[in-house]
Amino acid sequence: MGPEAGHGAGPEIWIRGPVIGDEPEPQPDDPGQLMATARQFAWVATHGGAGASTLAAVFGGHDAGRNWPRPDQGEPGSVLLVGRTHAAGLEAVSHTLDIFRRGDAPPGLDLDAIVLVADAPGRLPRPLAQRIKVIASVIDVYRVPWVPAWRTGDLAAEPPRECAQLARLTGSPASLPARRGNR
């Protein structure tokens, strides 16, 4: 519809994720302005062996294991659901995503994204890739490739470049050389 129907000239769009309101931006010369802190996340495994503990160790944040985080006890309420890219892992992710969709997740939790960890090196079979597309149609999905060093317990190894967006989301210094020296 055009402007003649009472709508703006641009197309209608759908936005996934948080929408910033019409709040004024703080001015740099404001003496009360504090440096923003990185958002804290809870990594929640949707099944055993999902990789939540490894991701929490590499990118920081709270490793909730297979439990819901408890914001009332100081744990982050921002949730990153973690699952493997095999059929059972994607089914577990879909099931847990549905808990949020139905509103059955504990109060105070916000689902921020899904993090899918490769279950093996190489390309995914087409049926699994299609399931990921369905999940990605309703929420942001971050993919973590197979990392042989992590498999052997070397969590100080620099994350692959495919993890750059995940590192930005979590505010992680994971790709900074100083981090490697601190481990």
CATH number of the domain residue 69 falls in: 3.40.50
Q: Tell me the residue range of the domain where 81 lies.
A: 41-182
Residue 93 lies inside a defined structural domain of this protein: yes
Nearest in space to 96 (alpha carbons), one of 126, 55, 143, 64: 64
pLDDT given at position 122: 94
Predicted TM-score of the model (pTM) = 0.75
Q: In what order do the strands lie in the sheet with 62-65?
A: 62-65, 41-45, 78-84, 110-117, 141-144
- Which residue has better confidence, 18 or 40? 40
Better pLDDT: 31 or 53: 53
Band of the pLDDT at 116, cuts 50, 70, 90?
Answer: very high
Split into its structural domains, the chain has a count of: 1
Q: Has residue 124 been placed in a domain?
A: yes
> What is the average pLDDT value for the chain, to the nearest integer?
82
Query: pLDDT tens digits for 49-59?
Result: 999 999 999 99
**Structural domain includes residue 174:** yes
1 part of a folded domain:
no
The C-alpha angle with vertex 118 and arms to 92 and 54, in degrees rounded to 5, equals 85
